[in-house]
């Protein structure tokens, strides 16, 4: 059946007025790291529409639980316990199944386990800060972690990042590759951040803010935040192979 | 007003930041014991068919300073020009060659060493063959949306001269920014994010 085949058609053009532009001077590092010439377009070839596949065999049992995957057995990370869950969809609102989702973050005090992070907030001996999972057949994913803290960074003299979790997502084509950051509903730091404000459209920023979902919380254990991720949609030949539409 | 087509908008990109290693190459970044090894970091499978090559890459900013906190992902065909992907419809790629790799800049020197095999030729949509190339995706602190480019090879002059992507560049004097230079045992490839020698990046 044609419906069962993997699509090979090209992806929708990326809306570069929706994504942050390369040069965003309020985020100072972008000034010397942004191309000055226009990017060049060409029609998608197999090099763009194909992409790597990751099987469940790469996953360890604790890969999607940051509260324990670096902890001494019997202990866990310090901080407000949460579940982050959502779906990976494409622009046609179809689930994107079986794709690798990776995430990393600071600990509850805003300190990263990285030798270049010299912030005076202490490391948590039971928190590493990395995790990964693979979306299921309906595009669902989830992981457990603790709420990361805000932290200062050398941009302006008093700039602080809002609490955030970095996300890296694969699609089915290499040009769907995306890295972004998830923020938390109600955080007043979001609207003061020079990295958030690289995004020109307020609605696009709101698409990065996870919603508190108390119905998905586990009582006496963890609250939940919902964060859906949308990857580029893929064209299909109208009416030919997908009766339910594009 | 017309009816709405009701498509979703793609999730907006954000920089990978300076601590991208924590998530994507934790062992390289000093976080041991969570994953057995970093994804995409291993040597090419010894059983993979094709010519073994080494590429030494560096990435420079607009002041000529080498980036020491970048991360590059590579995606390429096997030695016969087939991709190891379910979207590959022309045949089955070498099962011992994944075609994808992930390479952080050395934190001191900025050097990125890529050991792989030389890819075969892949067709453009109109059937013309493209020259052997590796697709690159670059993220780092200060880069808001991952940068896409391609690496071609200096010892493929004939194929490069007829490559449908290289020949469509309006500014032909920029083609050389996409060509890795063969030097005895390896290829050298410098990426310039900005300035006079700025690498061609793609909006694809």
Q: How far is B157 from chain A (nearest CA, A)?
A: 20
Q: What is the per-residue pLDDT across A129-138, written as a single tens digit (0 to 9) for each?
A: 999 999 999 9
Strand partners, B117: B52
Quick check: A192 contacting B, CB < 8 Å?
no
Domain boundaries, chain B: 20-192
Tell me which residues of chain A have a pLDDT lower than 50. 1-5, 239-240, 242-246
One pLDDT digit (tens) per residue for chain B, 204 residues: 899 888 999 999 999 999 999 999 999 999 999 999 999 998 899 999 999 999 999 999 999 999 999 999 999 999 999 999 999 989 999 999 999 999 999 999 999 999 999 999 999 999 999 999 999 999 999 999 999 999 999 999 999 999 999 999 999 999 999 999 999 899 999 999 999 999 999 999
Q: What is the per-residue pLDDT across A128-181, written as a single tens digit (0 to 9) for each?
A: 999 999 999 999 999 999 999 999 999 999 999 999 999 999 999 999 999 999
A127 Cα distance to chain centroid:
20
- On whether the CB atoms of residues A173 and A14 are closer than 8 A, the answer is no
CATH superfamily for A51-230 is Aromatic compound dioxygenase (2.60.130.10)
Per-residue burial over A58-72, b if 16 or more Cβ lie within 10 Å, else e, is eeeeebbbbbbbbbe
Domain boundaries, chain A: 51-230
ipTM entry: 0.97
Domain B20-192 belongs to what topology? Protocatechuate 3,4-Dioxygenase, subunit A (2.60.130)
A residues 107-166 lying closer than 8 A (beta carbon) to B: 112-117, 128-130, 132, 166
Which of A164, A172, A232, A234 is an active site residue? A164
Handedness of CA A86, A89, A95, A97 (dihedral sign): negative
Q: How far apart are CA B22 and CA A128, in angstroms?
A: 8
Distances (CA, A) of A150 to A109, A142, A199, B110: 7, 22, 20, 29
Q: How far is B167 from chain A (nearest CA, A)?
A: 11
Q: Which residues of B touch A53 (CB under 8 A)?
A: 84-86
Q: How far apart are CA A151 and CA A171, in angstroms?
A: 31
Interchain pair B34, A230: CB under 8 A: no
């Amino acid at each position: 059946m044609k419906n069962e085949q993997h699509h090979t058609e090209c992806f929708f053009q990326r809306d570069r007025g929706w994504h942050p532009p390369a040069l965003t001077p309020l985020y100072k590092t972008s000034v010397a790291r942004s191309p000055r010439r226009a990017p060049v377009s060409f029609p998608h070839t197999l090099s763009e529409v194909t992409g790597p596949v990751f099987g469940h065999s790469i996953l360890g049992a604790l890969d999607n639980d940051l509260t324990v995957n670096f902890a001494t057995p019997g202990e866990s990370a310090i901080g407000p316990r949460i579940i982050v869950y959502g779906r990976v969809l494409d622009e046609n609102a179809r689930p994107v199944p079986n794709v690798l989702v990776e995430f990393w973050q600071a600990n509850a005090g805003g300190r990263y386990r990285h030798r270049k992070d010299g912030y005076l907030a202490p490391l948590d001996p039971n928190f590493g800060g990395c995790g990964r999972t693979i979306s299921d057949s309906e595009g669902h994913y989830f992981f457990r972690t603790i709420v990361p803290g805000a932290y200062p960074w050398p941009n302006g003299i008093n700039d602080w990042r809002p609490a955030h979790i970095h996300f890296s997502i694969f699609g089915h084509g290499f040009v769907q590759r995306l890295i972004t950051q998830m923020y938390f509903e109600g955080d007043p730091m979001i609207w003061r951040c020079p990295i958030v404000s690289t995004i020109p459209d307020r609605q696009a920023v709101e698409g990065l803010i996870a919603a508190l979902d108390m119905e998905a919380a586990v009582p006496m254990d963890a609250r939940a935040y919902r964060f859906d991720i949308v990857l580029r949609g893929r064209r299909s030949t109208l009416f030919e192979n997908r009766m339910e539409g594009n | 007003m017309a009816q709405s087509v009701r498509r979703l908008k793609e999730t907006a990109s954000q920089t990978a930041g300076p601590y991208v290693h924590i998530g994507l190459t934790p062992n390289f970044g000093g976080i041991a014991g969570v994953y057995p090894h970093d994804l995409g970091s291993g040597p090419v499978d010894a059983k993979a068919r094709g010519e073994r090559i080494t590429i030494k890459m560096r990435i420079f900013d607009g002041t000529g300073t080498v980036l020491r906190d970048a991360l590059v992902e590579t995606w390429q065909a096997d030695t016969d020009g087939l991709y190891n992907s379910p979207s590959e419809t022309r045949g089955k790629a070498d099962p011992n060659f994944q075609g994808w790799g992930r390479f952080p800049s050395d934190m001191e020197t900025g050097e990125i060493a890529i050991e792989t095999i030389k890819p075969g030729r892949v067709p453009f949509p109109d059937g013309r063959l493209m020259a052997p190339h590796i697709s690159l995706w670059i993220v780092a602190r200060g880069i808001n949306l991952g940068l896409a480019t391609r690496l071609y090879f200096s010892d493929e002059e004939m194929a490069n001269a007829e490559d449908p992507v290289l020949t469509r560049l309006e500014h032909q004097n920029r083609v050389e920014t996409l060509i890795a230079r063969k030097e005895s045992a390896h290829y050298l490839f410098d990426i310039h994010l900005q300035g006079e020698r700025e690498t061609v990046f793609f909006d694809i």
